[in-house]
Structure 1
């Protein structure tokens, strides 16, 4: 994890240096440091976009296949071996990969944890020259330094709201669930944003900015991907 944090830190520093060399001066309301967080987050999201597209496509396929799976479960409820074989055949014909949904979540969690370490110790992973890091302007509109906690909790509130939106859109691609599962997912859709808001009290503003930008990108991505995938999946599972 430390190695990944160093790579992400170097990438963040590269974006900062590029901005500093390209533009003669920083905008008054937003520092190059803030811009480097925004740009690096978008680039990383674009890199993993094909993987996310595959995950959403897989989830849509499962949703489309669920009625057929339920029929098989009822028909072969007393014959688990035949049921397993029939399900595997159904998955193969629809080109459905059970493991494809796990990889994107693992990658996103690894990147999140690695970036958390970068923002927790930026002088270790990104800006190794402590004096230089202290000297650069790190403001982001009303926040005087992204290295500090946003005491107004505005950024934490936006992070919570965008987390809710990503969860809501993600639920649209989930396979049909029983009432208990649906209730659990709805509860998580509320609990997770509240948890992010609560944790935001102690997070550096830079990490929250990364989270917000990533969520906004994900919301737009999911809206477009859901529309694109729905048609493609419907054709594949026919």
Structure 2
């Protein structure tokens, strides 16, 4: 079945181009819009917002945490504390997620106070002329000692200019904080204040950024999501004016982001501050004027936690947060990726094993595509029948290519054959495979999910590399030689799938198809085991379908008969 093998070769080439070249092509043809910036005297400048001071020296995390009074944070998803000096949320641990799959692995430390390695924290304050607002050295008074989903906490500070500042903090069962900032003017004259918030991050993420999984500064406006690189904000600050949206930092699986009141205009900033820390911030475009004896309040939110798909979707819908689901960069194939994720997640909840869920997903997809595959075989059977006539026409008009094509198209029409019908199932599988690749790569729900035996993380490559005897030889092979058991099974399944097809008559094609399964084995080895499980299962199903379809169309197994060219 030479046509089928050609189609598979076409599939492999297109799939490779799609996996590796598509995002670069989209970036070339559809570049991101430049960020909006302030203009002062004809120059682009960043708004002047308070920034964190660089510590004199880094110290142990436990020592720094003990240096200032704190309010504990305790939820089913988070543990940590709020620093009353500066009113900073600077200590958060994600209790449901471990750093590795090891039994004694510590949980993920997301936020750490200034002065520690990897300092990462959020703060909320005010700026304004003629107002002495609280700053990083202000020690706030707390109404309680614990912030939980059922016990909110109020922080209070008074200043010499006659204003009382209050921050009401609440947190839900997951990762969303609600912050209500209030200013009471006890002075004799009106004051003008502007609420702001910032997230400061001393270091780049340890997660490696890649075209399919963005890492770094991020901002969403009413129009689009902006995925920025670290280098993008190290020079000129990036600013975005919007009504609705959010800004912060994304790791592969974690997110911290400031969410202002979605009804008011704000300017988001992404910058590197003078201490060389990366900073995401916002402040209102219009200040709040407070008359003597009056007070005003402003509410915002702060998210710090895991990028769980359903949770992000829920916050976007229930809280009205503009484009909050875009914290996960689904890309152009999101319309396919998200339904695959939700179906895969449903299967997982039914069977309790993501590997089994991927197998069931594969069976479902191949079942849905089977009618198309059946038509493909019927088309190839008809093509097989007319092969002698085609060869005769090619021989007869070998010196007149235009006439040759005309006669072949006429033959297709008379025999009711569509030569492209065999490509449809392959073309449909390409976006499905790419979508599954993105789902396994992006979603935290797949992180650290075991399958069987040594496979403890379906979102990672197979750790049982053969070249170092599965780890008994103490060296790490280079990535292009890190061939595990699962990639070998992929190559074997591909070999048998192609073995069941008739061998092509062309010697060069024979050689290409002979080495292709083993080339794919090396190519797929660095990819997630879950994707390889999908491909192996698909190959096994293809072999079974081929045997049944060959029994229905035996002409495909018969050698092509020769027909003399017509005179």
CA distance in 1, matches of 2:513, 2:347: 34
Displacement after TM superposition at 1:92 (Å): 2.6
Q: Displacement, 1:212?
A: 0.7
- Give 1:117 deviation, angstroms: 1.0
Is 1:193–2:517 an aligned residue pair? yes
Larger Rg: 2
State the number of aligned residues: 207
CA, structure 1 residues 188+10, in 2 after alignment: closer, same or farther (shift >3 Å)?
farther
- The answer to whether structure 1 residue 53 and structure 2 residue 374 are counterparts is yes
Tell me, yes or no, if the aligned pair for 1:151 and 1:201 is still in contact at 8 Å: no
**Separation in structure 2 between the aligned mates of residue 190 and residue 113 of structure 1, nearest angstrom:** 25
Contact 1:57 1:233 in 2 (8 A): no
CA distance in 2, matches of 1:203, 1:85: 45
Larger strand fraction of residues: 2
Partner residue of 2:551 out of 224, 227, 235? 227
2:394 is matched with 73
Counterpart CA distance in 1 for 2:495 and 2:338 is 30
Instruction: Pick closer, same or farther for the CA change 1:221–1:49 going to 2, 3 Å.
Output: same
Give the TM-score taking structure 1 as reference length.
Answer: 0.76
**Which residue number in structure 1 is paired with residue 412 of structure 2?**
91
Distance (Å, rounded) in 2 between the aligned partners of 1:147 and 1:82: 53
Residue of structure 2 equivalent to 1:144: 456
Give the Cα–Cα distance (whole angstroms) in 2 for the partners of residues 139 and 80 of structure 1.
55
Highest RCO, 1 vs 2 (Cα 8 Å, sep ≥ 6): 1
Q: Would the aligned equivalents of 2:337 and 2:435 in 1 still touch at CA under 8 Å?
A: yes
Distance 1:159 1:233 in 2: 25
| Other-structure match for 2:431 | 110
- Please provide the CA RMSD for this pair: 2.6
Q: Any residues of structure 2 matched to 1:197-216 within 5 Å, and which?
A: 197-216=521-540
> TM-score, normalised on structure 2?
0.34
Residue 80 of structure 1, CA deviation = 5.1
Matches within 5 A, 1:125-144: 127=445, 138-144=450-456
Alpha-carbon distance, 1:41 to partner:
0.6
The match for 1:8 is 340
Which of 468, 475, 488 is the matching residue for 1:157? 488
- How far apart are the structure 2 equivalents of 1:61 and 1:158? 34
* Deviation readout 1:21-59 (Å, 9 max, x if unpaired): xxxxxxxxxxx2111111011110111111122222222
Contact 1:61 1:233 in 2 (8 A): no
Q: Which has the higher helix share?
A: 1
SS in 2 for 1:149: coil
For structure 2, list consecutive stretches of 5 or more residues without a partner in the other structure. Answer: 1-332, 465-483, 559-567
